[in-house]
Amino acid sequence: MKIKKFLAPSMQEALKMIKKEFGDDAIILSNKSVQLKEHPEWKNAIEVTAAIDKKDEIPSESFGETVKKAVAEKPEPSSISNIQFNTLQKDIGYINDRIELILNHIKYENLPHLPKNLQNYSKQLITCGVNASIANSIIEEVFTSLKGEDLMEDDLVEQKIIAKMKNMIQITGPVKFNQDAPTVVLVMGSTGVGKTTSVAKLAALYKFTYRKKVALVSVDSFRIAAMEQLKAFSDIAKIHFEAAYNNNDLIDKINKLKNYEVILIDSAGINIKNIKQLIALKETIRVSRADEIHLILNMTTRYLEIKETLKSFAMIPYNGVILTKLDESSYFGDILNISVEMDKPFSYISFGQNIPEDISLANRNELAQIILRGKYDNQ
């Protein structure tokens, strides 16, 4: 087998070059977009790795034999000649390529009918954490929606993938404010996921952007520091703050805040292994008569744990999920998994520690782009 990388201004050009050099039996192993310093005018430059199965191109001796020979000829391993070193390097490259080919074949054997670039996109989505079955179904649909040479246009393929993912992502849209009574919004979640920070950001958003009369209530009496953290913020932002030490206290405090338009409640962190804590939270939520409940999930948590968290909190009905710490994450496939497998919509995304700016309403197009890009870019 002969393997070679081809650099070309477009996929079509690359295919022509491959055909010319390798003929009709060539197979495409991979392709990726590249920027070439020597050809800055090639805006869609592409690097395509192609192979042709030619018996006479296979190195005549195996890697093992080459090493044995090298050692036998030169007792000093450090003094192998340049020619031998190059042969070794070539052999290692050849073996690596073969291993990658075999691994890809095993991993994507259910997609052998797809063009290589689509197989690579499926691979990319899986690497980003999208469940294999979801990734493959997206790519299959993209395959059936594009024809002929369009399938080789990566820009077009990416647009289709993003559009498909966008349709799979669920969002809640903005909070629905009551007209005549305060809208009570409560956030809940595991410990340390960003509840207090998110509540503070939402309070600032509702006060300064939506021009609402906002009050903050902390029921996190478990951690004094948590209350102090929110109190300190409300002093700076000039937002009314109340601390509630038990459920009766919470009822009194909420009654006291009748003249406010929005009451945001920060709850105590839950250890999902502790069912008593979950039951207590459910009771707190019942007495608070919250209009909207948002579950906070930290994006850097692995999917198995996210699933456990979602299952545990399923005993409390909630409106949407606030995803935090997108700025600390590199793999966003779980956004799709949570929407598709767990059937949960997103309300807000949080992408930093800055209050109030690092929060925004969840947007399906933005989330789809983040998944494919593998990066949160707050531009």
Residues near ligand GDP (CB under 6 A): 189, 191-197, 269, 324-325, 327-328, 350-353, 358
Cβ proximity to Mg ion: between 195 and 212 the closer is: 195
Taking the complex as a whole, the smallest distance from the CB of residue 344 to ligand GDP amounts, in Å, to 18
How would you classify the pairing of strands 320-324 and 214-218? unpaired
Cβ proximity to Mg ion: between 226 and 335 the closer is: 226
Q: Does 66 bind Mg ion (CB under 5 A)?
A: no
Taking the complex as a whole, the smallest distance from the CB of residue 214 to ligand GDP amounts, in Å, to 18
Which listed range, 147-155, 193-201, 316-324, 346-354, lies at the site for Mg ion (CB under 5 A)? 193-201
What is the C-alpha separation between 277 and 191, in angstroms, rounded?
12
Residue numbers 196-225 binding Mg ion by CB under 5 A? 196
Cβ proximity to ligand GDP: between 80 and 272 the closer is: 272
Q: x/- string (CB under 5 A) for Mg ion, residues 137-176? A: ----------------------------------------
Return the structure tokens found at 227.
Answer: 């209350």
Q: By rule CB under 5 A, what count of residues binds Mg ion?
A: 3
Single-letter residue type at 375: K
52 strand-pairing partners = 2
Taking the complex as a whole, the smallest distance from the CB of residue 188 to Mg ion amounts, in Å, to 11
Cβ proximity to Mg ion: between 195 and 253 the closer is: 195
Give the residue nearest to ligand GDP (CB): 194
Cβ proximity to Mg ion: between 221 and 360 the closer is: 221
Give the contacts of 169 (CB within 8 A, at least 6 positions apart).
335, 336, 339, 346, 364, 367, 368
Taking the complex as a whole, the smallest distance from the CB of residue 232 to ligand GDP amounts, in Å, to 12
Taking the complex as a whole, the smallest distance from the CB of residue 265 to ligand GDP amounts, in Å, to 12
Please write down the long-range contacts of 82-89, taking CB distance under 8 Å and 24 or more positions apart.
87/59, 88/63
Contact 57, 1 (CB under 8 A): yes
Cβ proximity to Mg ion: between 66 and 196 the closer is: 196
Cβ proximity to ligand GDP: between 291 and 358 the closer is: 358
Q: Does 226 bind Mg ion (CB under 5 A)?
A: yes
Taking the complex as a whole, the smallest distance from the CB of residue 229 to Mg ion amounts, in Å, to 7
377 contacts which partner out of Mg ion, ligand GDP, none, CB within 5 to 8 A by kind?
none
Taking the complex as a whole, the smallest distance from the CB of residue 363 to Mg ion amounts, in Å, to 26
What is the C-alpha separation between 303 and 318, in angstroms, rounded?
20
194 contacts which partner out of ligand GDP, Mg ion, none, CB within 5 to 8 A by kind?
ligand GDP
Read off φ and ψ for residue 378, nearest 5 degrees.
-85, 70
Q: Does 329 bind Mg ion (CB under 5 A)?
A: no
Give the residue nearest to Mg ion (CB): 196
Cβ proximity to ligand GDP: between 49 and 324 the closer is: 324
Taking the complex as a whole, the smallest distance from the CB of residue 104 to ligand GDP amounts, in Å, to 35
Task: Summarize as ranges the residues that interact with Mg ion (CB under 5 A).
Answer: 195-196, 226
